[in-house]
Amino acid sequence: APEPGVAPRIDYPRALQILMEGGTHMVCTGRTHTDRVCRFKWLCYSSEAEEFIFFHGNASVMLPNLGARRFQPALLDLSTVEDHNAQYFNFVELPAAALRSMPKPVFVPDVALIANRFNPDNLMHVFHDDLLPIFYTLRQFPGLAHEARLFFMEGWGEGAHFDLYRLLSPKPPLLRAQLKALGRLLCFSHAFVGLSKVTTWYQYGFVQPQGPKANILVSGHEIRQFARFLTERLNGSHSGPLPAEDYIVVFSRTHNRLILNEAELLLALAQEFQMKTVTVSLEEHTFADVVRLVSSASMLVSMHGAQLVTALFLPRGAAVVELFPYAVNPDHYTPYKTLATLPGMDLQYVAWQNLLPENTVTHPERPWDQGGIEHLDRAEQARIRQSREVPRHLCCRNPEWLFRIYQDTRVDIPSLLQAIRRVVKGRPGPRRQKWGVGLFPGKVREARCQAAVQGASEARLTVSWQMPWNLKFLKVREVRYEVWLQEQGESTYVPHTLALQNHTFTENIKPSTTYLVWVRCIFNKTQPGPFADVLVCTT
């Protein structure tokens, strides 16, 4: 048996025999290339051709077996950005016999998770596209979380935040460029390829203007479990004590998109909320220190930008204040608003926009990717300078957007405080989690209905039910029941909201008619349960 903590070593002759006779084995989850993750045995990679290889042998399985549809457009997305044509995964097929005339395979003994990072230099992309999806993909399949080695195939160097990727798995990740040194033909005894997109909440605007994903499947609870994991892994690498009192963090950028009156802003916030204020930046603090400070803050204030993804470390009850430069409409750029307002994040979100042209400083002379516009023709430059709002646009090189988002801003203090006070009533800050707030009722039980006819034109329906079974374990502020009456054959229904567990309907109830009756429970107006089995009642 292998020693604990030591990777099992490969029995080389046996591995080679299994590969040469059996070939590659693949079984995937997911119905389309955008939601597929595949599990492989004996997947190989040619570091010369920079291609994966599927060897056909007598034990090969390829599920799904798509035929030519494997190239329409690909087997799967290697990054979590949906259907990005630079992030596809596929393999080349060979008969296992071809191995005889190929370089001797080098076997990778660790179970591998193979994926692409999307933009490892940008903190929002690092968390949203990579860290969270990797964390939960590692927890989707048994054996990965504590064993896997990550292989990043996008071809970038380590990037600015590689230390964070290192925290996710016990073994250091490997980059594509490092594979050449391992061998000309690498074969993975056991590999997973692709990432779960279940935790992503934002689409960056490649096909339609950017915005929240259409079908968000993650809540604040999962985000916070991930944040807790990362915080624990970061612990020990920080310095200095936290402020003893409640405090506000102003997250500043030092190269661009500056807050020009930061000192004035700090003073105003301290006075308004009677709290200490501290500034942090990615340039002047270690990431561990940023996380430690944000984790206990009552409020996080920052210009729009990737550093705001650190809001996911804020305690429940804290406020997030996002500042937008002149002509940038906050409603059009909502990655951090979407994060802060996920159910269960329990953060208070405030957007503030500079509406005063005299308080903005533009940088037309800079390179195009930092918002410069002098490469454009004069008419277009003039149009952009005069525009009062960037029209909706696609990612990623819209010069008007870049010009506006890289402005520096003098923050108008009264309008900012007003914007915060519209949302933040009283004192913001850490709250204890209230269990049961986000829970849903079960079905109502023992639903029955009884019909009665009075004379030729009048009828009534009496419907009764018992409360859902899970209610007796919960403290729910408001319990209501909803009853839908639908005349059989009609497509419309009449909903009724009720507080008691029975009701007699008399209005618009006709004799000699069959009604379908649907009953469900609703907690606190926002938490509807499932309908009980439909009741069929004939008057």
Region binding ligand UDP by CB under 6 A among candidate stretches 102-110, 130-138, 145-153, 302-310:
302-310
When asked if residue 277 is in the footprint of ligand UDP (CB under 6 A), the reply is: no
Examine residue 311 and tell whether it contacts ligand UDP (CB under 6 A).
no
Q: Which is nearer to ligand UDP, 119 or 169 (CB)?
A: 119
Degrees to nearest 5, angle at CA 358 with 354 and 362: 80
Smallest gap from Cβ 128 to ligand UDP, in A, equals: 11
Of 44, 174, 306, 345, the one binding ligand UDP by CB under 6 A? 306
Residue of 282, 297, 311, 463 that binds ligand UDP (CB under 6 A):
282
Q: Which position among 254, 271, 387, 454 is part of the footprint of ligand UDP (CB under 6 A)? A: 254
Contact range with ligand UDP by CB under 6 A, out of 36-44, 253-261, 267-275, 511-519: 253-261
421 binds ligand UDP (CB under 6 A): no
Q: Does 307 sit near ligand UDP (CB under 6 A)?
A: yes
Residue among 34, 256, 261, 486 that touches ligand UDP (CB under 6 A):
256
What CA–CA distances, in Å, run from 451 to 210, 518, 539?
A: 53, 15, 5
Nearer to ligand UDP, 325 or 441 (CB): 325
Question: Per CB under 6 A, which region of 76-84, 132-140, 300-308, 407-415 contacts ligand UDP?
Answer: 300-308
CA-wise closest residue to 23 among 71, 61, 55, 69 = 55
CB 400 within 8 A of CB 326: no
* Smallest gap from residue 121 Cβ to ligand UDP (A): 6
Q: Does residue 305 interact with ligand UDP by CB under 6 A?
A: yes
Count of helices and strands (H, E) across the chain: 12, 31
Q: Is 297 in the site for ligand UDP (CB under 6 A)?
A: no
Q: What's the one-letter identity of residue 518?
A: W
Q: What is the 3-state secondary structure (H, E, C) of 60-100?
A: CEEECCCHHHHHCCCCEECCCCCCCCCCEECEEEEEHHHHH
Stretch that binds ligand UDP, among 254-262, 286-294, 455-463, 495-503 (CB under 6 A): 254-262
253 binds ligand UDP (CB under 6 A): yes
What residues contact residue 215 under an 8 Å CB cut-off, 6+ apart? none
Q: Which residue, 132 or 485, has its beta carbon nearer to ligand UDP?
A: 132
Q: What angle do CA 395, 397, 398 make, to 5 degrees?
A: 85
* Residue with Cβ nearer ligand UDP (286 or 538): 286
**By C-alpha distance, which of 289, 308, 314 is closest to 163?**
289
Task: For residues 457 and 440, give the distance between their C-alpha atoms in angstroms, rounded to a whole number.
Answer: 40
Tell the smallest beta-carbon distance from residue 335 to ligand UDP (Å). 8
By CB under 6 A, the count of residues binding ligand UDP is 11
Q: Which amino acid, one-letter code, is at 386?
A: Q
Alpha carbons 444 and 530: distance in angstroms, whole number? 8
**Which residues inside 188-247 make contact with ligand UDP, applying CB under 6 A?**
none
Q: Which residues of 361-386 are buried (b: 16+ CB within 10 A; e: fewer)?
A: ebbeebeeeebbbeebeeeebeebee
Nearest approach in angstroms of CB 112 to ligand UDP is: 28
Tell whether residue 124 is a contact of ligand UDP (CB under 6 A). yes
Which residue's structure tokens are 């990778």? Answer: 108
Kindly tell me which residue out of 60, 80, 122, 334 binds ligand UDP, with binding defined by CB under 6 A: 122
Cα separation, 317 vs 311, in Å, equals 12
The closest of 241, 301, 248, 311 to 274, measured between CA atoms, is 248
Q: Which is nearer to ligand UDP, 283 or 533 (CB)?
A: 283
CA distance 133 to 131: 6
- Per CB under 6 A, residues contacting ligand UDP are 122-124, 253-256, 282, 305-307
